[in-house]
Amino acid sequence: MYSLNQRFDNMEIPEDEYMTAGHVACAGCGASLSMRLALKGLGKPTALVVPACCWGIIPGAWPQTAMEVPFFNTAFMTTGAVISGLKAAYRRRGMEDVCVVGWAGDGGTYDIGIQALSGAAERNEDVIYVCYDNEAYMNTGVQRSGGTPLGAWTSTTPVKAPKSESKKDMDEIMIAHRIPYLATATAAYPHDLIAKFKKARSMKGMRYIHILSVCPPGWKTPENMSIEIMRLAVLSNIFPLYEVENSEIFRQTVIPDEVEPVNNYLRSQGRFKHLTQEDIQVYQREVTTRFERLKERFDRIAA
Amino acid sequence: MKYTNREVQTPLCCISTTSSLINKTGSWRFASPVFVHRASPCNEQCPADEDIAGYMYLAAQGRFEDAWRLIMKENPFPAVMGRVCYHSCETRCNRAEHDDAVSINMVERFIGDYGLAHGIEIELTRPEIDKRVAIVGAGPAGLTAAYHLRLMGYGVTVFDSNKLPGGLMRYGIPPYRLPKEILDGEIGRLSNMGIDFNMGVKIGEGLAWEKINSEFDAVFVAIGAYQDADLEIKGMDKGGVVNALEFLREVNLGKYLGTGKKVTVIGGGNSAIDCARVSRRLGADVTLVYRRSLPEMPAHSEEVKMALEEGVEFLFLAGPEEIYGQEDVSGIRLVKMSLGTEDNSGRRRPEPTGETFDLNCQTVILAIGESLKIKDLPSSLICDGNLVRADDFGRTNKAGFFAGGDIIDSPRTVTHAIGSGRRAAAAIDGFLKGMERDKDGLNQTSELADYNSLNLFYFDHRSRTKAHIVPADKRINSFKEVTSSPSEEEAVYEAGRCFNCGSCTECGNCYIFCPDFSIKKNPDGYGYIVDLDYCKGCGICVQECPRGAMKMEFME
C-alpha cells in the first residue's frame, strides 16, 4: 500500500483506522499519532485502559468519543491494576482474544502508576502496557515528572533552575522485571512502531512498550516539526529504538546511518533553549554513556 | 451489559454516546496544507519542456509505454534525444547534492528505444481542422512543429531541399552518436500520422514564398543556419580546405571525403569535436586548434573527453594565420594567442601575440560557426543581425509566419530546436484560432521544487549507473554507436533514483503522519486530498513530504 519511499521499501502501513477525526489533541500532537499508528498494529479486538493524562481528554469530552475500540478511563495510579482485572474479566467471560492495553503517560508510569505497573509485571499479567512519554505532566500544565530529561525547562523547573536530575531509566526498571517483551518506539518510524505492536499482540504475558511522543506546547516546538524532532531523538541515540525479549535478547531495530550530535535535537526545542555549550557537552556524555551500556548488550547477542 | 441502575436511572459510570466527528476541529486552523505541483529544476531546465520528474516516476515502476507517451506529449524524438541531447537537466538535478545526479539521458534513451522496439504509434484523437500549415525545413524544429500541429488536427506539409527529412540530425550528427535507423524509426512514426513530406524542394527557388503564403494558412520557417562563417586568411582556396557542415554531410551520406593523413580542425564547438572524431575514424591524425583554452570551449565536456580518449590532439591558444601549399594544403600557419579581458559572452577574449608557428597537414576543417543565409528567407521577415527576429513563441513581424530552430536567437542544439518547434506549434494554433496563446498548454509553473523543499531523510544513497561505452581503441575503428543502451534493470534502477521533485508519487507520508485523520485518498483519482473539516493545520504533512509537493497556505 504505502511503500514507495525509498527508505521503506517492502513495508506496508495498514489502511484500517480504529479511531476517528474530531479528537481534541493539540495540532502536531505526538500522542494522538502514536495511538493511531499503535491501533493499526494492534487491530481488533482490543480494549484500552487510560488513566489521567492527555489521553483522558483527547478522545473528546463526554458524551463524545473518537474511539472505535472500548476505552476505559481510570484513576491515575491504577492502570496496572485495572488492566490486570479487565483481562481477568474478559477471560472469565470467554473473551480471551481481547487484547487489553494500558495506555498511560510518563507521569502515570514513572511516578504515580509505578506501583500498580510493577505489580502487574511481577505477576506477568497477560496485558500490554504502553507508556507514551512526553516527558512531563503536559495535560495539567507542563510540570516535571520522573521522565523529564536533565536540564529541561518545565513550569516547576524554570529556566533559572532547570531539572538537575537525569531522566529515570524506566526501561531498565521494566527489564529488571524480566518480562517477555519490551520495546521502544516512536511515530517518526511508523513501520517500526507498527511492527512492534503487531509482535507484542502475538505474544503472551506482560509486554511493555515505551513511546517517545513529542508535545509541541510543552516542548516549545513548532507543530510541523513533530516528526523531525522525534526522528532526531533516534538519530542522536537519545532515544534508541530497540526491543528486548525475556530481558535477554536485545535487538536494535533502527540503526542510524550516521549518529547526529545531541546539539541538533536540543536546539530544536524551546525547553532546552537556556542550555550552554557546557551543558550540552554534559548531556552528550550522558547520552553516549547510556547508549554504550545498551550497545554492549546488542553486541553480545550479535556475537 | 447493564450499566444503569434502573431505580434511580443514573449511570453507574459515564459512557460516551456520540462520535467526536461532530467536533469540527478544522476551525482551530490558521494555515492549510495544500497539494501543489512544483516544477522540478530538471523540468525547468529542459529546453524541450519535458516532464522529466513525471516520466521518471512511470519508468521506475516499469510503466515504459506510459512514460513514452508522457515524453511524446512534448517531444516526438525520445530515442534521438536519449542519444544526442546534452542533458543540461542533469546539471540542475537536486540529487547531485545528495550523491550524484540521476542519469536522465540514459532513462530517456531506454524509453525511446522501448517505443521503437514495441512499435508504439501515436493515435490522432482530435477532430480534423480544415486549415493547412506549411513547415519549411525538416530538421528537429520543423518536424516537432509538424508533429504537434498534426496532433491538434491541422493538415501539415513539410518542405525541405534535402532528399530525406531530419536536417542536421541526419546530415550533421555522425552515426556513432546517432544511428540512422533510430532516426528513421522516429521520423517514420511522423509520416504514419499523415504528415505530408515534400522533399527536394527549396522554397525561394523551386517554389516561391508567395505561393506558400497563399496556399497555406500559416508558415513555420526553420531552415537552419548553413552560411559558412567567413575566415579572411590566405589560402582558403587550396584543395583540402573544407567546411565542417559540408564535411559532416558527406560523411553522413556515406561519401567519405578523402582526408589527408594529418587533419587540422579549427574551432572549439560541438561541430569541431564531431569533425575531429570523424577524422579519427577515417584514419587521420587530428589536431584540434582552438583560440581560447579548455575551460572556454563551448563544446560539451563529455564530447571533449571522448575526443581526448580517441587520440585527438588539442592545441589551445592558437588561431589560423595562413593556409599554405601548392594546389593542395600542405600546412597551416598558426598564431599564438593570449587571453585578454572578458567579452560579451563572459569569456576572456583571445588576442594574437604575433608569434607564429607552422603545422603540417593535408586537410583543414573549419568549424568556426555558421550563420543564417538571409537570402533564403522570405524578404518580409525582419532580422536582427544574423537571426530572424521572433518572440519566445516564434512569432515574427509578419502575421502567419513563425520561425524556429537555428534561425532564431536560441542555443543551437537539437533539444532547443525541438522546444522552439513545440512553442511555435502552440503559437500557430493560437493564431489560427484567433487567440493569444502564451503559457497555456506548456509545462510552466511559477514555483520551483528546489533542494530545500525536499525532505531528504526519505532518500537513501544510491550510486549512479555508468553508461556502457565502447573502449576508445575499439570505437575509432568504425562508425558504430559509441554508447550502448542500458538494460531494463538499469533503466528502472536509475529512474528509481529520481526524487520526482515537486510531484506527488502517492508515497503516503502525508497520510501516514497525519495525527488528525485529515489526509485521504483522492476518491476522484490520483493522489490525496485534505479534509479541511478536521485538519488542525499542524503542517506535519508538508514538512514530511519527501518531494516538496505540498505547501502551507496561511489565511488572510
Question: ipTM of this predicted complex?
Answer: 0.94
CA angle B77, B78, B80 (to 5 degrees): 65
As a whole number, the mean pLDDT across chain A is 93
pLDDT(B379) > 90: no
Please check whether the domain covering B24-38+504-554 is classified as CATH 3.30.70.20: yes
Please answer yes or no on whether B515 and A28 come within 8 Å at the CB atom: yes
What whole-number distance in Å separates Cα of residue B22 and Cα of residue B25? 9
Strand partners for B331:
B324, B360
* Residue A116, all three cell numbers: 500498580
Domains located in chain A, CATH noted = 6-302 (3.40.50.970)
Write the pLDDT tens digit of every residue in A130-182. 999 999 999 999 999 999 999 999 999 999 999 999 999 999 999 999 999 99
Residues 6 or more apart whose CB falls under 8 angstroms from that of B533 comprise A21, B24, B26, B518
Which of A2, A4, A32, A65 has the most B C-beta neighbours within 10 Å, making it the best mutation to test the interface with B? A4
Give pLDDT, residue B3: 54
How many other C-beta atoms are found inside a 10 Å radius of the C-beta of residue B246?
15
What whole-number distance in Å separates Cα of residue A30 and Cα of residue A19? 15
* Residue A123, all three cell numbers: 505477576
Ramachandran region, residue B121 (left: φ > 0; alpha: ψ -120 to 50; beta: rest): beta
3-state SS class at B3: coil
Ramachandran region, residue A237 (left: φ > 0; alpha: ψ -120 to 50; beta: rest): left
Distance from CA of A190 to the nearest CA of B (A): 8
pLDDT(A5) > 50: no
Write the pLDDT tens digit of every residue in B141-178. 999 999 999 999 999 999 999 999 999 999 999 999 99
Which of A6, A10, A68, A225 has the most B C-beta neighbours within 10 Å, making it the best mutation to test the interface with B? A6
Q: Are both B24-38+504-554 and B229-369 of the same fold?
A: no
pLDDT(B539) > 90: yes
Cis before residue A63, ω within 30 degrees of 0?
A: yes
* Residue B554: exposure state from Cβ atoms within 10 A (0-12, 13-18, ≥19): exposed
Q: Which residues of A220-249 are buried (b: 16+ CB within 10 A; e: fewer)?
A: ebbbbbbbbbbbbbbbbbbbbbbbbbebee
What whole-number distance in Å separates Cα of residue B368 and Cα of residue B243? 9
Nearest Cα residue to B61 out of B488, B550, B462 = B488
C-alpha B115: how far from its chain's center? 18
Chain B nearest-CA residue for A223: B538
How many other C-beta atoms are found inside a 10 Å radius of the C-beta of residue B466?
10
Strand partners for B266:
B289, B366
3-state SS class at A157: strand
The answer to whether the beta carbons of residues B55 and B71 sit under 8 Å apart is yes
The reported pTM is 0.87
State the pLDDT confidence band at B439, using cuts at 50, 70 and 90. low
Please check whether the domain covering B229-369 is classified as CATH 3.50.50.60: yes
Residue A77 main-chain phi, psi, to 5 deg: -90, 5
Closest in A2, A22, A228 to B511, CB measured = A2
Q: Which fold has domain B132-225+372-432?
A: FAD/NAD(P)-binding domain (3.50.50)
The answer to whether the beta carbons of residues A59 and B20 sit under 8 Å apart is yes
pLDDT(A268) > 70: yes
State the pLDDT confidence band at A4, using cuts at 50, 70 and 90. very low
CA angle B92, B97, B99 (to 5 degrees): 115
Enumerate the domain spans of chain B: 24-38+504-554, 41-120+454-496, 132-225+372-432, 229-369
Residues 6 or more apart whose CB falls under 8 angstroms from that of A225 comprise A28, A268, B543
**How many CB pairs (< 8 A) connect A and B?**
134
- HSE-CB of B495 using CA atoms within 13 angstroms: 28
The answer to whether the beta carbons of residues A71 and A64 sit under 8 Å apart is no
CA angle B339, B344, B348 (to 5 degrees): 10
Strand partners for A47:
A100
Report the DSSP pairing between strands B519-521 and A64-65: unpaired
Closest in A1, A5, A60 to B20, CB measured = A60
Residue B130 main-chain phi, psi, to 5 deg: -85, 55
Average pLDDT over residues B297-316: 94
Distance from CA of B515 to the nearest CA of A (A): 4
Average pLDDT over residues B33-56: 92
Contacts of A225 in chain B (CB under 8 A): 543
Give pLDDT, residue A6: 46
Q: Which residues of A34-68 are buried (b: 16+ CB within 10 A; e: fewer)?
A: bbbbbbbbbeeebbbbbbbbbbbebbbeeebbbbe
The answer to whether the beta carbons of residues B92 and B185 sit under 8 Å apart is no
Please answer yes or no on whether B539 and A22 come within 8 Å at the CB atom: no
Contacts of A28 in chain B (CB under 8 A): 515, 536, 538-540
Tell me the DSSP string of B66-121.
HHHHHHHTT-S-HHHHHHH---GGGGG-GGGGTSS---HHHHHHHHHHHHHHTT--
* Residue B291, all three cell numbers: 583560440
Nearest Cα residue to B45 out of B83, B98, B94 = B94
For helices B270-281 and B244-252, the axis angle rounded to 10 degrees is 50
CATH homologous superfamily for the domain B41-120+454-496: Alpha-helical ferredoxin (1.10.1060.10)
Give pLDDT, residue A232: 96
Give pLDDT, residue A10: 44
Please answer yes or no on whether B513 and A24 come within 8 Å at the CB atom: no
A154 DSSP 8-state letter: B
Closest in B18, B25, B458 to A21, CB measured = B25
pLDDT(B381) > 90: no
Check CB contact of A7 with chain B, cutoff 8 Å: yes
What whole-number distance in Å separates Cα of residue B341 and Cα of residue A273? 53
Question: What's the Cα-to-Cα distance from A47 to each of A44, A86, B330, B527, rounded to whole Å?
Answer: 8, 9, 97, 34
What whole-number distance in Å separates Cα of residue B270 and Cα of residue B177? 12
